[in-house]
């Protein structure tokens, strides 16, 4: 088996499409080499080796060593120097992880590998740059000691042990803080000595001298880091399977730390926060690797490189164009300049906010880089709600006190109680508090807190800092480098603009402008919401709004499935239709019974012991229901409305406290003992599987009769006003063909009566929910009478899994952590299990009634992955809550492209 793929000198074994095997970094290094960009040579050890490593007690395939030796030979030939050479210029390498999807900050990179007490001297001799050579060696021992040998801060230590040694030395020698780049060659030599002593003290062993031993150790550490805690947390958040594994890249070093004509940088080909077409990033002179993002020295905006290093900058601008033309997407690049010469070290599609994604996609269509279908795919459906997220209320902002400014790293508005530590932030969020995580800078250890927070505020760090990176990816509101805030971790306070805020106090941050405000600010809906829902004229003129509309227009062209909404009121219906819903997929009639004193009539109906009494109570409910449906039909103007008959168990409507029972007794003149008795009678051990759904209508046909009458009378009234109506009556919880027949017969009979009484005809349909496994399995029987199916995937998931959604809290986390569930099955459809039931129902339903209308109305209808699954099933529509309609439209369009 080929385990090693080399690249260099314009040639490569791999290419950009091989991310599964080579990881993202390795595949793109090969690709950049092939298109002629200046990339130092190297090779990738494939992800298959990682899989082998974990399957075989952390050992390697036997042919790997020979293949790696050939890889090193290839580098030596191109670079004209030898790995471990103690006489001439030695070949040094970077050992870099690279998973299929980039996992920022998760894996550890080791630079300058191959140095030892001999090769450092040959490096000095070959470069005549003593400070540089010993700087490399010092960095190498530090990185290798940390990542491979595990010399890290232990419990009770506040700082990394290597940092403690450096700080100690600086104070001992210079009596003050100086930056690392000011350390002399002698300083570096001394530090190497002290670092090695530290390694010996902590590990009991000497620092490995043999370059090959170093290389194998580093590769092993990269593979091992795939299973470290941070990597696991990250994978869980982004649903990356553990089986994917990581690749290891071994690459010839280029040096950004040789002096003033060298440096290191990271940049985006366009602005990933707001989408503006400008080169965006940071650069540090005389620096290596992580210096730029580590926050030890403050990097400069990359634009300033133009003055300091005009030639490599011009070359970089050319590379920027070549990359965008080639990858047809915004790139996030890492580069190093060695003595005036530019080298590219990494490229990948840049993470971006939803706002930037929208602008990139629109601009690139205009520039002819991509077509409109690609543009649709470039907007992640699960991020779209960022665009709909609130902004600060303008009136509130005018009143608020502006405390500080920072870099706008993640757009949006967030207000919350401040916490200075990730664990405390996460704990507070768990209790339901809105939380802002405030730190000097963040690191991967803070991930839990960042996930929990509404927004992130840092005092240090730039646009490529860890906080900015993660915020962009998670769509968090974020401000970085707000230098005016002073954080005291011990006292748990934040001082800014003469005020002191304690943990638990409120701050507000505007990640679009970079402004920090004191106190809690009210938020206002985004322009897209006000433009669409309120028809706000100013909002409609914004670029964001116009781009959003264009995107939705393209979705319309691409999509096969339509999107309906779950709505119970005319107002919800109006909003959903404005967002592009083409009908109602679910109206829950029971929600209507909780308004005003309708509940009294409902309770009277339930308490009734005779048919007459029940009919009398139902007669009181009828006008209410008719009025509701009239409003909905009028708003829909001829779009279809699926109305579900009464579904929940009756006891949900009953008064459960003594006070409520006495109150009801007075209101309807039924003795309180009788009420208590009835509540008692209706108690169920397992209401989810109890007397609910069509079981109610079968036990009490008069309920179905009343509801059907309300629907059809409303339809008749609206039709008379020359407004088209399309009622679709839906029978819930059907598992037997007979259940459906019994209920449908009532509905049809009432329809006939009402049409005769009102002297008007209109079209209507009767169909069912498919939400219990038996219904799915016998769908051919049910389809004899049912004109449509709507998958009620909440109940279908509960009944198929035998798991109650309301009782799942206790084991959901362990189930996700141990990967029993890859995702919460109530949020994302369990395609493998529940999906099979749906597939069966679709096939059987169509075998009886080829043109049967199929839809879904569970919560899953607004979840992008589930929507995509529904597309593959060939459903006609998905239905979701009004504000999820754009998300569902985007996901449905993407599924069809
Ligand atoms: P990450 O995945 O954390 O970005 P990388 O493997 O990209 O890790 O390495 C981090 C940094 O190390 C790079 O941005 C670059 O500055 C430096 N680096 C990596 N490879 C080399 C190399 N061959 N020569 C010089 N510097 C390198
Ligand atoms: Mg890194
Ligand atoms: Mg990198």
Provide DSSP, 289-311.
TTHHHHSSSPPEEGGGHHHH-HH
Confidence class for position 107, pLDDT limits 50, 70, 90: low
Which of 50, 81, 466, 480 is flagged as catalytic? 466
CA 325 – CA 280 distance, rounded (Å): 17
> Pairing state of beta strands 93-99 and 110-113?
antiparallel
Nearest atom within ligand 1 for CA of residue 40: 23
The residues facing 726 across adjacent strands are: 640
pLDDT at 548 over 80: yes
Q: What is the pLDDT of residue 780?
A: 98
- The model's pLDDT over 561-612, given as tens digits with 9 standing for 90+, comes to 999 999 988 999 999 999 999 999 999 988 778 777 788 888 889 888 899 9
Under DSSP, the state recorded for 858 is: S
CA 603 – CA 271 distance, rounded (Å): 59
Average confidence score pLDDT of the chain: 92
pLDDT at 408 over 80: yes
Q: Which stretches of 721-852 are DSSP H helices?
A: 737-758, 773-777, 779-782, 793-801, 809-817, 834-848
Give distance in angstroms: CA of 106 to centre of ligand 2.
7
Give the residue carrying structure tokens 């440096």: 263
Which of 136, 694, 857, 870 is flagged as catalytic? 857
Give distance in angstroms: CA of 334 to centre of ligand 3.
6
Under DSSP, the state recorded for 256 is: S
Ligand 1 pocket test, pick from 7, 27, 94 with the greatest ligand atom count within 8 Å of Cβ, gives 94
Name every protein residue with a CB atom under 6 angstroms from any ligand 1 atom: 40, 94, 96, 109, 111, 251, 253-254, 264, 289-290, 334, 336, 345-346
Active site residue 480: no
CA 807 – CA 803 distance, rounded (Å): 8
Q: What is the pLDDT of residue 105?
A: 47
CA 227 – CA 243 distance, rounded (Å): 11
Give distance in angstroms: CA of 240 to centre of ligand 2.
19
Percent of the chain whose predicted confidence (pLDDT) is above 70: 99
Interacting residues of 220 by C-beta distance below 8 A, sequence separation 6+:
53, 58, 148
Between 713 and 481, where is the model more confident? 713
The domains found in the chain, sorted by start residue, are 263-349 (3.30.470.20), 389-524 (3.50.30.10), 559-649+684-896 (3.20.20.60)
Nearest CA to ligand 1 atom 10: 289
Question: Within 10 A of 491 (CB to CB), how many other CB atoms are there?
Answer: 12
Q: For residue 98, which ligand has an atom nearest its CA?
A: 1
Ligand 1 pocket test, pick from 27, 104, 109 with the greatest ligand atom count within 8 Å of Cβ, gives 109
Active site residue 466: yes
C-alpha triplet 580, 583, 584: angle, nearest 5°: 120
Give distance in angstroms: CA of 507 to centre of ligand 3.
33
Nearest of 97, 191, 212 to residue 147 by alpha carbon: 97
Nearest CA to ligand 1 atom 20: 94
Give distance in angstroms: CA of 412 to centre of ligand 2.
27
Question: Within 10 A of 603 (CB to CB), how many other CB atoms are there?
Answer: 24
Nearest atom within ligand 1 for CA of residue 97: 6
Tell me the helices (H) and strands (E) count for the chain, helix number first. 37, 34
Give distance in angstroms: CA of 45 to centre of ligand 2.
18
Across the range 16-45, mean pLDDT stands at: 97
User: How high is the ipTM of this complex?
Assistant: 0.95
Nearest CA to ligand 1 atom 24: 253
Ligand 1 pocket test, pick from 336, 342, 466 with the greatest ligand atom count within 8 Å of Cβ, gives 336
Nearest atom within ligand 1 for CA of residue 249: 6
- The model's pLDDT over 490-517, given as tens digits with 9 standing for 90+, comes to 999 999 999 999 999 999 999 988 999 9
> Pairing state of beta strands 110-113 and 435-439?
unpaired
Give distance in angstroms: CA of 206 to centre of ligand 1.
26
Q: What is the pLDDT of residue 378?
A: 97
Q: What is the pLDDT of residue 177?
A: 77
Confidence class for position 104, pLDDT limits 50, 70, 90: low
Ligand 1 pocket test, pick from 346, 351, 443, 465 with the greatest ligand atom count within 8 Å of Cβ, gives 346
- The model's pLDDT over 146-157, given as tens digits with 9 standing for 90+, comes to 989 989 888 888
pLDDT at 106 over 60: no
Nearest atom within ligand 1 for CA of residue 266: 14
Across the range 82-88, mean pLDDT stands at: 94
> Pairing state of beta strands 765-770 and 788-791?
parallel
CA 214 – CA 234 distance, rounded (Å): 28
Query: CA-based Rg of the chain, rounded to a whole angstrom?
Result: 33
Q: For residue 38, which ligand has an atom nearest its CA?
A: 1
Nearest atom within ligand 1 for CA of residue 293: 14
> Pairing state of beta strands 93-99 and 486-488?
unpaired
Give distance in angstroms: CA of 806 to centre of ligand 1.
47
pLDDT at 213 over 50: yes
Two structure tokens written together for 392: 């600060």
Q: For residue 256, which ligand has an atom nearest its CA?
A: 1
């Amino acid at each position: 088996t080929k385990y090693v793929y080399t690249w260099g000198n314009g040639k490569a074994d791999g290419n950009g499409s091989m991310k599964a095997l080579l990881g993202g970094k390795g595949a793109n290094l090969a690709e950049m080499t092939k298109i002629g960009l200046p990339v130092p040579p190297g090779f990738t050890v494939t992800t298959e080796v990682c899989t082998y490593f974990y399957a075989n007690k952390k050992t390697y395939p036997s042919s790997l060593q020979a293949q790696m030796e050939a890889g090193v030979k290839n580098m030596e030939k191109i670079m004209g120097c030898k790995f471990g050479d103690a006489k001439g210029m030695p070949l040094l390498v970077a050992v870099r992880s690279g998973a299929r999807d980039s996992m920022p900050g998760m894996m550890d990179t080791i630079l300058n590998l191959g140095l030892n007490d001999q090769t450092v001297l040959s490096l000095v001799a070959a470069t005549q740059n003593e400070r540089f050579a010993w700087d490399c060696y010092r960095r190498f021992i530090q990185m290798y000691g940390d990542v491979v040998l595990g010399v890290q801060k232990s419990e009770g230590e506040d700082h990394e042990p290597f940092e403690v040694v450096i700080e100690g030395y600086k104070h001992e020698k210079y009596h003050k803080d100086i930056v690392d780049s000011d350390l002399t060659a002698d300083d570096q030599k001394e530090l190497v000595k002290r670092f090695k002593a530290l390694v010996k003290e902590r590990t009991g062993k000497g620092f490995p001298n043999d370059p090959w031993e170093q290389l194998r150790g580093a590769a092993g550490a990269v593979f091992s880091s795939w299973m470290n805690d941070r990597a696991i947390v990250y994978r869980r958040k982004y649903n990356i399977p553990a089986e994917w594994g990581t690749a290891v890249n071994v690459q010839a070093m280029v040096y950004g730390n040789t002096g003033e004509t060298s440096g290191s940088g990271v940049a985006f080909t366009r602005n990933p926060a707001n989408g503006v077409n400008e080169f965006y990033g940071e650069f540090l002179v005389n620096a290596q690797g992580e210096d730029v993002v580590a926050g030890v020295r403050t990097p400069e905006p990359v634009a300033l490189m133009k003055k300091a290093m005009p030639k490599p900058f011009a070359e970089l601008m050319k590379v920027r164009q070549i990359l965008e033309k080639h990858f047809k997407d915004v790139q996030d690049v890492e580069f190093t300049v060695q003595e005036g010469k530019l080298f590219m070290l990494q490229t990948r599609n840049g993470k971006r906010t939803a706002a930037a994604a929208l602008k990139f996609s629109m601009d690139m269509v205009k520039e002819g880089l991509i077509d409109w279908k690609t543009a649709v795919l470039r907007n992640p459906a699960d991020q779209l709600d960022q665009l709909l997220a609130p902004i600060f209320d303008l009136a509130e902002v005018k009143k608020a006190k502006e405390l500080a400014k920072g870099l706008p790293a993640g757009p949006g508005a967030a207000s919350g109680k401040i916490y200075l530590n990730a664990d405390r932030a996460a704990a507070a969020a768990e209790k339901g508090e809105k939380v802002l995580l405030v730190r000097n800078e963040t690191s991967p250890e803070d991930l839990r807190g960042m996930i929990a927070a509404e927004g992130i505020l840092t005092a240090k760090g730039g646009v490529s800092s860890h906080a900015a990176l993660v915020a962009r990816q998670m769509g968090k509101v974020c401000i970085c480098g707000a230098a005016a805030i002073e954080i005291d971790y011990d006292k748990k306070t934040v001082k800014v603009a003469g005020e002191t805020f304690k943990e638990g106090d409120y701050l507000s941050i505007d990640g679009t402008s970079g402004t920090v405000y004191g106190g809690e600010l009210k938020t206002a809906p985004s322009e897209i919401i006000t433009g669409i829902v309120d028809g706000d004229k100013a909002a409609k003129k914004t670029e964001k709004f116009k781009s959003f509309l264009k995107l939705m227009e393209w979705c319309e062209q691409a999509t096969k499935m339509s999107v309906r909404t779950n709505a119970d009121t005319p107002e919800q219906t109006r909003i959903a239709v404005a967002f592009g819903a083409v009908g109602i997929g679910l109206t829950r009639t029971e929600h209507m019974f909780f308004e005003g004193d309708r509940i009294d009539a409902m309770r009277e109906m339930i308490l009734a012991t005779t048919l007459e009494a029940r009919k009398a109570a139902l007669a009181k409910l009828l006008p209410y229901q008719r009025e509701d449906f009239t409003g909905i039909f009028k708003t829909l103007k001829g779009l279809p409305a699926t109305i579900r008959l009464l579904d929940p168990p009756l006891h949900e409507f009953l008064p459960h406290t003594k006070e409520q029972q006495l109150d009801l007794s007075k209101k309807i003149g039924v003795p309180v003992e009788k009420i208590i008795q009835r509540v008692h009678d209706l108690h169920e051990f397992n209401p989810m599987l109890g007397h609910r759904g069509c079981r109610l209508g079968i036990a009490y046909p008069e309920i179905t009769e009343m509801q059907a009458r309300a629907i059809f009378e409303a339809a008749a009234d609206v039709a008379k006003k020359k407004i088209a109506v399309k009622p679709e009556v839906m029978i819930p919880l059907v598992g037997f063909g007979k259940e459906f027949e019994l209920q449908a017969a009532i509905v049809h009979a009432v329809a006939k009566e009402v049409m005769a009484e009102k002297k008007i005809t209109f079209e209507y349909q009767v169909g069912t929910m498919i939400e219990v496994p038996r219904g799915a399995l016998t769908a051919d029987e049910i389809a004899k009478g049912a004109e449509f199916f709507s998958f009620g995937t909440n109940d279908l998931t509960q009944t198929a899994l035998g798991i109650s959604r309301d009782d799942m809290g206790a084991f959901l986390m362990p189930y996700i952590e141990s990967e029993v569930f890859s995702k919460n099955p109530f949020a994302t459809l369990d395609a493998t299990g529940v999906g099979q039931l749906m597939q069966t129902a679709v096939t059987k339903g169509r075998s009886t009634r080829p043109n049967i209308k199929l839809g879904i109305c569970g919560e899953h209808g607004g979840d992008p992955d589930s929507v995509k699954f529904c597309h593959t099933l060939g459903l006609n529509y998905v239905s979701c809550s009004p504000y999820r309609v754009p998300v569902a439209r985007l996901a449905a369009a993407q599924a069809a492209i």
